[in-house]
Chain A
Amino acid sequence: MASLQQQIAEKFLAALVEREEIDPAQIAELRQLLGRGKKPKADDFTQVFTTPRGGVVK
């Protein structure tokens, strides 16, 4: 089946790795969000973008 969505997601995440403004923890969360099979909502992304650098205490 078409993997255009996956190709775009990979290209997108690879571009983010090159941007120092983006924390690796955020990139990891985005990867999970885009790969979970459910359509991500704006609130899902908002939560990722407001994650402090280095992640949160769990």
Chain B
Amino acid sequence: MIKLEAAHIEEVRGIRRLDIDFDRTNFAISGPNGSGKSGVIDAIEFGLTGDIGRLSGRGTKGLSVAQHGPHVDMVDFPDAAYVRLSVFIPSLNKKATITRKVAAPSKPTIVPNDPDVKAVLEELSEHPEITLARRDILRFILVEPSKRSEEIQTILKLEEIGQTRAALHGAQNKLTNALKSATGLVAASRSTLQRHLGIETNSVPDLLKAVNERRMVLQLPAIAEFTQDTRLDAGIADPGQAPPFNKTTALRDLAALDDATVNIALIVAGDSASIQSGIERLERDPALLSSLQRRVLIEKGLALVDGAECPLCDHRWPDEAHLLEHLRGKMSKSEDAGVLQHQLLRHGAAIGSQVDGLLVLLRQAHRIAKGENDDASLTAINEWGKDLGALKMQLGTFDGLIGLKDRLEADWHAVPAALADNLNALRRAVEARPDQSAAVEAQTFLSTAQLRLEDYRAATRTEATAKSASVVAKIAYEEYCRAMEDELNALYADIQAEFSDYYRMINEDDEAAFTAELKPSEGKVDLKVNFYERGLYPPAAYHSEGHQDGMGVCLYLALMKRLFGKEFTIALLDDVVMSVDSDHRRQFCRLLKAQFPDTQFVITTHDRLWAQQMRSEGLVSAKTSMLFYGWSVDSGPLVEAASDVWEDISSALAKGKVETAAAALRRHLEYLAWVLADELSARPTFHADGKYELGELMPAVLSRSKELYVKAWDAAQSWGNEAAKVAIAERKATLAAASQASNVEQWAVNPAVHFNAWANFGQKDFEPVVAAFQDLVRTLRCPDCEGWVHPSPRGKPESLRCDCMSVNFNLTAKPR
């Protein structure tokens, strides 16, 4: 996406004011613990994303960018804390600057404010994974498979896929419930029709027999064939009128209501008992109840999320993804509660379906009461109808179900006493009606049959539509899951292959046959790695911490490559290989150079040796390295910069600050001595703690330099190469003179010239010391490329040369 050109950091984290020139290339920042290296990473991350992972990830409760982003002396002045990054956008071939203040992290100033530039930077801001720290590595390697799945899915921004799947599943559930409801209505309307017709089965012959018997009474032609368009009341005048009273049907309807209120108890007994048992469990376990109630609330919140603001508390999150992750995290803690919730709602729905049936019958009773002008019955029926309607609503929600324990224990299905009396009176009133003449009975029978048939047909059509929708929803969900599984399997297979390749590159000396298995299954991602071809095991089973660190970085690189492809142009690696040993880190440099030539890595390390390895392997150069040699609250990182250290020393001396100049010279020489000792493969006296001081390293460096020149001269002599002999002799003499002037070889025996004594020198005494070491350092470099003259290749050197080959002396003598 972008490459960094430069950064200006002011009052952010531990940094007061710092300018870094990245030059769109790899950059290394080294220094001891607490020198501010991670602060630079924090600042860049903040500049690009508006967030700082160290202050907002897991385990950072109580920390925030607002409070802890500014330098500690500027907490009350967040406006003073800002980062300005100059970037290059390769895809647009454009440069831009992005300035972001801690006081307004979500409102950066972008110049130029072009839509395409803003789009790239906006997209980048949604990818905090460009920063990798060691704590992040642990997320991939050491966590359990289900967590690893979440971590990888987060880094690959797969939550959107999960959301789509969840939405499809939600639609399937809704339409399945709608189908159940529609099927229930079909059964109820069929039952109503059959009851009216007086037939036991839904067969056409039975229907036609009952209908044609009445049609014969009215001397209407019999219906021979029953089709979708058949009208049972065909030939009767005004068929569209409201159905006249049919005594037989009315009595049957009232009897059906009586039967239903009796039979329902047995039908719902199991579901009622289950709900009551669930409620009792919640009463015994208040924590479970609380968990369930929170879950219900969070479910509502999740359904309402539309942006970075929480719909429950209005709190603004960095972005919607953070908010969703937070809410889902809370949901995942209440899985047990979720299972119970699902069971309760299922039983509630079953009872609700029976309540629907009662309501259908009650509507018939209402019609009869209306026909009899029985206001008392109408009122009582309406009241019970409302009560059953409210019960149906309660049965559909968790909160409603919780309050139903007493009601379910009682006979909720029994007709209320007052209504029972009304219905008895209504039945007697209907019975008292004179029997209808055969013609009237036949006419009302056919009109009512037609209306009930129409209701049944409508319910059947609704059910067919609901069934079709339910089938479509089911197919859609299954096909989406299949597509998702296939693509994720392919994704993980790719990542597995690349991860294994990268790890083998780093460990080619001892694990050249390494393989890994990254296996997704049911929301988990299992990672197993081959241990010396003894089998596949979890990484922590047999591999060392250093190897695990290496695995973490390799997996990260494989994921980033998969996520960004060619757009993987920047990554910030914050001390990620601290446990990896020297040889493997060298290989790591080679991996980054070979496999990610177009990616700009900004790498921090506390390990000076690795900082030097990055340079010697060509991953970074002297210009693209920065050394912090300390930190103070007032100054921030103390930067060692090779290019102007001599100017700093001269400047300090000019002001009479010998102590400052001496300290700067000593630090610089300590740094150079480390670098040169590595370059030359110098051999100071070994001690196990690995801590070598300037007094041990510099003499060893000079001794080794001389040894190499002697060897080069001997080789030139053996080949009869006079020109080389002259050049070597000249460099050797220059080195000898500079070495003598520096008094390095006198440090062991003459305290007066030892570097510990420098701080006590006067200005005039110290100036020659500075000049001597500046000269000494110069003699160890090539005059053209300014690179160190070093033996090459490592291990078995064949030449003494510089990077540009202007200095190039053979070290191999002619065979005798």
Q: Which residues of A contact B (CB under 8 A)?
A: 1-2, 4-5, 7-9, 11-12, 15-16, 19, 21-23, 26, 30, 34, 39-46, 49-50, 52-53
Contact present for B469 and A50 (CB under 8 Å):
yes
Contact present for B171 and A39 (CB under 8 Å):
no
Can you list 24 residue pairs at the A/B interface with Cβ under 8 Å? A1-B564, A1-B565, A1-B567, A5-B160, A5-B161, A8-B161, A8-B483, A9-B483, A12-B479, A12-B484, A16-B479, A22-B475, A26-B472, A41-B170, A42-B166, A42-B167, A42-B168, A42-B169, A42-B170, A44-B167, A45-B168, A46-B171, A46-B175, A50-B465
Contact present for B479 and A4 (CB under 8 Å):
no
Contacts of B484 on A, CB cut-off 8 Å?
Answer: 8, 12
Q: In the complex the two chains form, what is the Cα distance from A37 to B157 in whole Å?
A: 14
Contact present for A11 and B167 (CB under 8 Å):
no
Q: Which residues of B contact A (CB under 8 A)?
A: 123, 156-158, 160-161, 163-164, 166-171, 173-175, 303, 465, 468-473, 475-476, 479-480, 482-484, 486-487, 491, 562-565, 567
Contact present for A22 and B476 (CB under 8 Å):
yes
Contact present for B480 and A8 (CB under 8 Å):
yes
Q: Which of A15, A34, A49 contacts B479 (CB 8 A)?
A: A15
Beyond the given A49-B171, A50-B469, please list 4 additional residue pairs across the A-B interface where CB-CB is below 8 A.
A2-B562, A9-B164, A11-B483, A19-B475
- Please name the 9 residue pairs, one residue from A and one from B, whose CB atoms are nearest each other, closest first: A42-B170, A45-B171, A11-B483, A12-B483, A15-B479, A49-B472, A50-B469, A49-B469, A46-B171
Contact present for B482 and A49 (CB under 8 Å):
no
Q: Which of B173, B470, B475 contacts A16 (CB 8 A)?
A: B475
- Within the complex, the shortest CB–CB distance from B175 to chain A, in Å, comes to 6
Q: In the complex the two chains form, what is the Cα distance from A9 to B486 in whole Å?
A: 12
Contact present for B472 and A22 (CB under 8 Å):
yes
Q: In the complex the two chains form, what is the Cα distance from A41 to B484 in whole Å?
A: 18
Contacts of A49 on B, CB cut-off 8 Å?
Answer: 171, 175, 469-470, 472-473, 476
Known interface pairs A42-B171, A44-B167, A49-B476. Does A15 touch B469 (Cβ–Cβ under 8 Å)? no
Residue from A46, A49, A53 with most neighbouring chain B CB atoms (10 Å): A49
Closest to A44 in B: B167
Residue from B156, B160, B483, B564 with most neighbouring chain A CB atoms (10 Å): B483
Contacts of A41 on B, CB cut-off 8 Å?
Answer: 167, 170, 303
Q: In the complex the two chains form, what is the Cα distance from A15 to B471 in whole Å?
A: 15
Residue from B156, B157, B164, B486 with most neighbouring chain A CB atoms (10 Å): B164
Known interface pairs A2-B156, A15-B483. Does A21 touch B163 (Cβ–Cβ under 8 Å)? no
Q: In the complex the two chains form, what is the Cα distance from A43 to B156 in whole Å?
A: 27
Interface of A (DSSP majority class): helix
- Within the complex, the shortest CB–CB distance from B10 to chain A, in Å, comes to 31
Q: In the complex the two chains form, what is the Cα distance from A41 to B69 in whole Å?
A: 37
Q: In the complex the two chains form, what is the Cα distance from A43 to B303 in whole Å?
A: 10
- Within the complex, the shortest CB–CB distance from A36 to chain B, in Å, comes to 12
Contacts of A44 on B, CB cut-off 8 Å?
Answer: 167
Contact present for B156 and A4 (CB under 8 Å):
yes
Contacts of A30 on B, CB cut-off 8 Å?
Answer: 476
Contacts of A43 on B, CB cut-off 8 Å?
Answer: 171
Q: In the complex the two chains form, what is the Cα distance from A40 to B162 in whole Å?
A: 11
Contact present for A2 and B564 (CB under 8 Å):
yes
Contact present for B487 and A7 (CB under 8 Å):
yes
Q: Which of A8, A22, A34, A53 contacts B487 (CB 8 A)?
A: A8
Closest to A19 in B: B475
Q: In the complex the two chains form, what is the Cα distance from A12 to B465 in whole Å?
A: 23
- Within the complex, the shortest CB–CB distance from A26 to chain B, in Å, comes to 7
Q: In the complex the two chains form, what is the Cα distance from A11 to B468 in whole Å?
A: 23
Closest to A15 in B: B479
Q: Which of B167, B471, B482 contacts A45 (CB 8 A)?
A: B167
Known interface pairs A4-B491, A49-B476. Does A39 touch B167 (Cβ–Cβ under 8 Å)? yes
Closest to B470 in A: A49
Contacts of A4 on B, CB cut-off 8 Å?
Answer: 156, 158, 161, 487, 491
Q: In the complex the two chains form, what is the Cα distance from A41 to B303 in whole Å?
A: 8
Contact present for B175 and A39 (CB under 8 Å):
no
Contacts of A52 on B, CB cut-off 8 Å?
Answer: 465
Contacts of B469 on A, CB cut-off 8 Å?
Answer: 46, 49-50
Contact present for B475 and A21 (CB under 8 Å):
yes
Closest to B486 in A: A11
Contact present for B157 and A2 (CB under 8 Å):
yes
- Within the complex, the shortest CB–CB distance from B176 to chain A, in Å, comes to 11
Q: Which of A11, A12, A15, A21 contacts B472 (CB 8 A)?
A: A21
Q: In the complex the two chains form, what is the Cα distance from A5 to B491 in whole Å?
A: 12
Contacts of A11 on B, CB cut-off 8 Å?
Answer: 483, 486-487
Contacts of B173 on A, CB cut-off 8 Å?
Answer: 42
Contacts of A53 on B, CB cut-off 8 Å?
Answer: 468
Contacts of A23 on B, CB cut-off 8 Å?
Answer: 472
- Within the complex, the shortest CB–CB distance from B187 to chain A, in Å, comes to 21
- Within the complex, the shortest CB–CB distance from A53 to chain B, in Å, comes to 8
Known interface pairs A1-B564, A41-B167. Does A16 touch B160 (Cβ–Cβ under 8 Å)? no
Contact present for A16 and B167 (CB under 8 Å):
no
Contacts of A5 on B, CB cut-off 8 Å?
Answer: 158, 160-161, 164
Contact present for A12 and B480 (CB under 8 Å):
yes
Q: In the complex the two chains form, what is the Cα distance from A40 to B169 in whole Å?
A: 12
- Within the complex, the shortest CB–CB distance from A19 to chain B, in Å, comes to 6
- Within the complex, the shortest CB–CB distance from A52 to chain B, in Å, comes to 7
Q: In the complex the two chains form, what is the Cα distance from A11 to B479 in whole Å?
A: 9
- Within the complex, the shortest CB–CB distance from A45 to chain B, in Å, comes to 4
